Structure formats: C-alpha cells, structure tokens
Amino acid sequence: MRQTEKTATSDYEGSVTIERLREGAVAGEDPRLSVLFAIAGVFATQQDLEAMLQRSLSSLVETLEGVEAAVLLLYDPDDDRLAVRAAHGYDFSKLRQVRLAVGEATCGKTFETGQPRFYPTPRELAKFSRSLTDEHAAAFREALIGDRWPQSAVCMPFFAGDKEQGVMMLENLHQSHAFVRGDLPFLQAVVDLVGLAVENAHLRVQLEEARAFDEANRLKGELLSVLAHEMRTPLTSIKGYSTALLMQEASFDPDVQRQFLEIIDEECDTLESLVHDLLESSVIDAGLLKLEPQPVLVPRLVREVIEEIGRRTDQHHFLVDFARDFPIVDADPDRVKQVLRNLLENAVKYSPEGGLVITRGEFTEAEITISVADQGVGISPEHLNRLFDKFFRAESGPGHHVVGSGLGLPIARTIVEAHGGRIWAESTVGQGSTFYITLPLDGISQETSEED
C-alpha cells in the first residue's frame, strides 16, 4: 500500500484522543463528542465496509453544523488510484466509477501530501478542481444533488499507522470560510476512527481469507483420505479377480469366469461413481453448474432411474405412486435424474436387508414434492443435520460398509436449490428414512397449461 509520512501543520500537532474529547465534553467544552460517539457506534455495529463508511459519513453530515456534503475515497494500491466509497449530498451510484489519480484535484492533492488541506473559497476550489479529468468533472456535476456548488471545503487524509488509506472531503454549499484550523482536532479524531475502521475491515477480510484457505486445505486433505480409503476396496477386488483370471496354471469354468467379470464390472462402476462425484463437486465449487430447463415428466424420469437401479438388486422392491394428472415441470431432466438416482441408490445401500422403496409424488399450485422412502437402518437425529455436508456419511449399520465419496447429497442439494427447490430428510433409526425434494411450478409449461 502507498506509504506517506504523517506530518503535522504549524497550527496542529498530532491527533486528539477520545479521552481528551471526553474530558472536554464533561467540562462542557466540546459538544461535538456525541457526533464522534455516533460514528464509533456505526463502526462497532456494522460489518460491511461500504455500508459502514456510508452510514458514518451521513451521520457526520446530518449532525455536524457547517457540513452539508461529503465524499470519502479509499486508495487502491492495485492501480494507484482513489475510489469513491461513500458520498452524502451526491448521488453515490453516479460516482462509483470515479477513480482519481494521486495528485488529481482536491482529494488527490490531499492524498499526495498526506496533510489536511483547506479550500476556503469557491475560487480556491475551482483552482484545484481544474486538474479533474473531463470524465470525472462530468461525473461530479451529474452526481451533485441540488443546484448549489460547494463554497468551501476541507480535505482530511486518514492513515493506518504510517500507511495512508484515503481521504475524506467535507463541503459547505452556502458560505466561504466554513472550516477553520480550530476544527482540526475534532476532524482528526473522526478520520482516525475511519482509518481504524477501514484497517479492521481489511484485517477481517484477510482473516476470513486465511480461514477459507485453511478450510480448503482441510477439505482437500479429507477428500484425499476419503478417496484413498474408498478406492482401495474396489481396486483390490479388480486386481484380485483380474489376476486370478490371468493365471495360466488355473482354470475356471465359464460360470465362475462370468462371476469374476461381473464383480470387476461392478467395482469399475463404483470407481466411476467416485470419480464422477469428485468432478461434479469441482464443477459446482467453481460456480460452473449450468441448468438446461425443459418440460419434464417427472414420473417417467423416476421409472427410468428405478429400472436402471432395479437391475442391480434382487432384494428390493420398488413402488411408484404418482397421480395421473401430475403436472409437467420445467427443469433440467439430466440433473433431476442425477438427484433421483442418488436418492434411490442411497435407499438401496442403506437398506442392506432389502425391503420396499417407495417413490411418491405430490403437488400443489406452487410446487411439486417427490419423496423416496426406504425400510433401512435409518439415520440418528444428530446426523440428520449433517447429511448434506461434504464428505459426511451416515452410519450404515454394524458389519455393513457403504462405499461412497460423501459428495452425492451435497451435489443433490446444490442441483435442487439451483432449480429453486428444497431438499431434506426425515428418519427413525431402525425404521428407514424418507428424503424429500421440491421443485417450483413457475415455468413456461405452467403458463401454457393455464392458457389451455
């Protein structure tokens, strides 16, 4: 960040502390202390930096006599410019793109010198405003609320230690010489608070980034651990059965050979599923999930997925319960099938003794609800809230391990929520689980249906 030595003018030495202002207020010498405390209150209760600066600047203008407009700019070291981050008396939306060069106009000159600067008359303001670019001058003219131009102003730089962070400019629209050197102690206390608040906001961002980095590393380590553990079993099976089939000194009858090959095929499917979940999770984390909605007959999708899963189990029975007039939904059919496949596969995995798996559809005017219920081991209450966390997998019962990445349900939740729906689960240990998803009925298919 740009560094400027913080020096004092001949009329002002150092900043005034809160304690000194408090003593002055008690003695009746400085009633403006309430303004300072109001600004400090904003900084203490507001977390968003832009909102914090805007509220504090507005509080200062609205409560301090003589101040009728103000702008606050922060220095951006990436392009060595000053960006407007708050304004009062101006339309802030029209100043968002303003980025003053260091030394440009009043604020740029104040930042360049690192010292407070007074502009007591319109002539002085005009003199230093001549260096504004045409684009910036037009932006300030258009943004000014009302038809009165500033008659006098004062610019105050603010720091974090010896690093200059930005500039606050206070303006009076009605009189010249509205600001005097005697205002400096109070104004310095204000900008010291602003500098402290900005520095705290930057530190908070850095802390959050550090935490996010640590969390990313933790998740990466957890992912590698899960994949290493989950891939070991299918890889061991594939290696073992393929090695057996290749042994020249051993011979197997066709039925045994087919059994070995079926096991190899199933374990390859398991590996493919693990890799697919990993890739899908990476796509979602990168914000690249895209939906291609079209009219969808959900009951047909359900039957297609059940037919696919049913070929892999002879212990489970599947029941589909949808009304004949079940509405058409505008959704991405491939993504909806992906969610249904995950829920139905989980229903099979977590009911190792077999049983009935019921997929039911209900609807209202606003949305459809699809539920998948099994008669499996169930999920304990303390695990229900974690089902949709990455890498979390509910216990599958003693002596039964369910292979998986722990990414299926988080992926399903992201897909459902991207459609504007919801997903949740209800369960009783030992009696099975029911997963629910909703999808909104607000697409073009519904508009067409209503017109018919």
Query: What's the mean per-residue pLDDT of the chain?
Result: 82
Residue of higher predicted confidence among 64 and 417: 417
Could you read off the pLDDT of 100-129 as tens digits, one per residue? 999 999 999 999 999 999 999 999 998 988
CB 120 within 8 A of CB 176: yes
DSSP 10-33: TT--SPPPHHHHHHHHHTTS-TTH
Residue of higher predicted confidence among 175 and 30: 175
Average pLDDT over residues 339-343: 93
Residue of higher predicted confidence among 240 and 225: 240
Domains recognised in the chain with CATH numbers: 18-207 (3.30.450.40), 289-452 (3.30.565.10)
| 342 has a pLDDT exceeding 80 | yes
| Backbone φ/ψ region at 57: left (φ over 0), alpha (ψ -120 to 50), beta | alpha
What pLDDT score does 421 carry?
95
Q: From CA 63, how far away is CA 44, in angstroms rounded?
A: 19
Sheet-wide strand order for 316-321: 316-321, 355-363, 367-373, 432-440, 422-428
Structure tokens at 240: 């073992």
What pLDDT score does 382 carry?
83
Q: Is 400 strand, coil or helix?
A: coil
Tell me, what amino acid is at 114?
G
Average pLDDT over residues 255-265: 88
Count of other CB atoms within 10 angstroms of residue 215: 10
Q: From CA 336, how far away is CA 304, in angstroms rounded?
A: 12
Average pLDDT over residues 267-288: 78
Model confidence, pTM = 0.50
Q: Is 50 strand, coil or helix?
A: helix
Is residue 45 exposed (0-12), middle (13-18) or buried (19+ Cβ within 10 Å)?
exposed
Instruction: Give, for 182, the enclosing helix (H) or strand (E).
Output: none
Q: Per-residue confidence at 21, pLDDT binned at 50, 70, 90?
A: very low
What pLDDT score does 280 carry?
79
Structure tokens at 306: 């059940």
Average pLDDT over residues 404-418: 85
Average pLDDT over residues 156-177: 89
Q: Kindly give the residue spans of alpha helices, DSSP state H, lying in 87-133.
A: 105-113, 122-129
CB 432 within 8 A of CB 357: no
Average pLDDT over residues 272-287: 77
What pLDDT score does 146 carry?
84
Average pLDDT over residues 149-171: 89
Nearest to 170 by CA among 109, 123, 120: 120
Angle at 102 between CA 100 and CA 107, to 5 degrees: 65
Query: Whose structure tokens read 């230690």?
Result: 161
